[in-house]
Amino acid sequence: MEVLFDEDFSAYSGGPTALALGTFDGLHRGHRKVIETARKMAREKKLAGGVFSFTPHPRRILNSGNGPGVICSLRQKIEILEEMGLDYFFCQEFTPEFSRTEFEAFVREILCGELESHQLVVGEDFTFGHGGEGTSGDLVKMGEELGFSVKIVSPLKNDDEKISSTRIRRLISAGRVDEVPDLLGRYYTVAGEVVHGSGRGHRLGYPTANLKLEAEYILPRRGVYAGYVHHRGERLKAAANFGHNPTFKPVDYRIEIYILELEENLYGERLSFSPVEFIRPEKEFDSIDKLRETIAEDILYTKKVL
């Protein structure tokens, strides 16, 4: 899959395209339905199949940086789309200047002009252009004028409720990570670089990998989780604490991961962690021995869960 950012759109030379169009901030099952529809139509019509999306989330720009935490980083998004077998990922940087683009100019100049769109696929609630003034219905009308087709995909539901990024974020924030895979189609996963911590885990007998996140993720409820670490193509059992370690002197928010099956030094390496089940909330212990005893119980429970 070839990845093109907006400064390179004018150099695109891959021929007519069928594009799934949207923010696709979580790449959940509903998003994947839209993307798979575009990929299938690209094959049927012998077009280049791709996705047109944005970074960062538009609401982070429109709300002065106060938009929602991400469900997957840009790097993770690219990895997932590549696994889906697409030809292209067109990534538009969403800036204050771009936010003022009129929807007709966006369609004429970028989608039709630079990217040669012959087929567009969107969800029912898709909006675009300055102030979200363009709707999927407007896109259909422009298609009739400019000669491209539009396919509108109905939302995917779970338990009679629409699958949405907002719903997934709500579950993650509440620590209900075990309910997320049914909506997301995979485990929720945070990724980043392993950095030096305080060394307390090593002194307790449970050395941890401290994760510096690669994106502003939506973070789960503070506490301990059983889950999987992904490292160098392997999936390893792990227990992770999300929070501030209140037993010791308060520190900044940290993600500390104890990997059950690995003891090597991982500093500077990229690591990802998928919380599978919430074990317990973060708490302050009266003694180090009680903390060490509870960590041992957390690890036994992790082994049972996984």
- The pLDDT score that the predictor gives to residue 62 is 78
Residue 167 lies in a domain: no
The total number of structural domains in the chain stands at 2
CA dihedral (96, 167, 233, 73) in degrees, to 10, reads: 10
pLDDT, tens digit, 9 for 90 and up, residues 190-212: 999 999 866 555 555 577 899 99
Catalytic annotation present for 256:
yes
| H/E run at residue 93 | strand 88-93
**Binning pLDDT at 50, 70 and 90, where does residue 92 land?**
very high
- The pLDDT score that the predictor gives to residue 57 is 85
3 state SS for 15-64? CCEEEEECCCCCCCHHHHHHHHHHHHHHHHHCCEEEEEEEECCHHHHHCC
Mention every residue, 6+ apart, whose C-beta is less than 8 A from residue 284. 246, 247
The first and second tokens of residue 80, run together, are: 């997932």
Q: Residue 299: give its domain's CATH number.
A: 2.40.30.30
- Would the pLDDT of 162 be above 90? yes
Closest CA to 227 of 264, 191, 257, 271: 257
* pTM reported for the whole predicted model: 0.90
Residue 140 lies in a domain: yes
Q: Which residues pair with 3 in a beta bridge?
A: 89
One domain, residues 69 and 208: no
Catalytic residue (choose from 145, 193, 216, 256): 256
Mention every residue, 6+ apart, whose C-beta is less than 8 A from residue 22. 31, 34, 52, 53, 122, 123, 126
- Would the pLDDT of 132 be above 80? no
Residue 177 lies in a domain: no
Q: How far apart are CA 119 and CA 146, in angstroms?
A: 11
User: 117-123 and 17-21: which strand pairing?
Assistant: parallel
- The pLDDT score that the predictor gives to residue 49 is 97
One domain, residues 156 and 238: no
Higher pLDDT, 94 or 206: 94
- The pLDDT score that the predictor gives to residue 141 is 93
Residue 11 lies in a domain: yes
pLDDT above 90 covers what percent of the chain? Answer: 72
* Whole-number average pLDDT of the chain: 91
Q: What is the mean pLDDT of residues 273-296?
A: 87
Least confident of 87-91, 96-100, 120-124, 244-248: 244-248
**Binning pLDDT at 50, 70 and 90, where does residue 168 land?**
very high
Q: How far apart are CA 268 and CA 283, in angstroms?
A: 29
- Would the pLDDT of 106 be above 80? yes
CA atoms within 13 A on the CB side of 141: 7
The first and second tokens of residue 50, run together, are: 């791709």
- The pLDDT score that the predictor gives to residue 7 is 96
**Binning pLDDT at 50, 70 and 90, where does residue 127 land?**
confident
One domain, residues 103 and 231: no
Q: Residue 112: give its domain's CATH number.
A: 3.40.50.620
Q: Which domain holds residue 39?
A: 2-162
One domain, residues 76 and 111: yes
Q: With H, G, I as helix, E, B as strand and everything else as coil, classify residue 255.
A: strand
One domain, residues 266 and 158: no
- The pLDDT score that the predictor gives to residue 247 is 58
Q: What is the mean pLDDT of residues 23-30?
A: 94
**H-only helix segments in the chain:** 29-45, 58-62, 74-83, 96-99, 103-105, 136-146, 165-173, 181-184, 200-204, 288-305
Residue 170 lies in a domain: no
- Is residue 30 within 8 A of residue 156, CB to CB? The reply is yes
Q: How far apart are CA 4 and CA 64, in angstroms?
A: 26
One domain, residues 16 and 155: yes
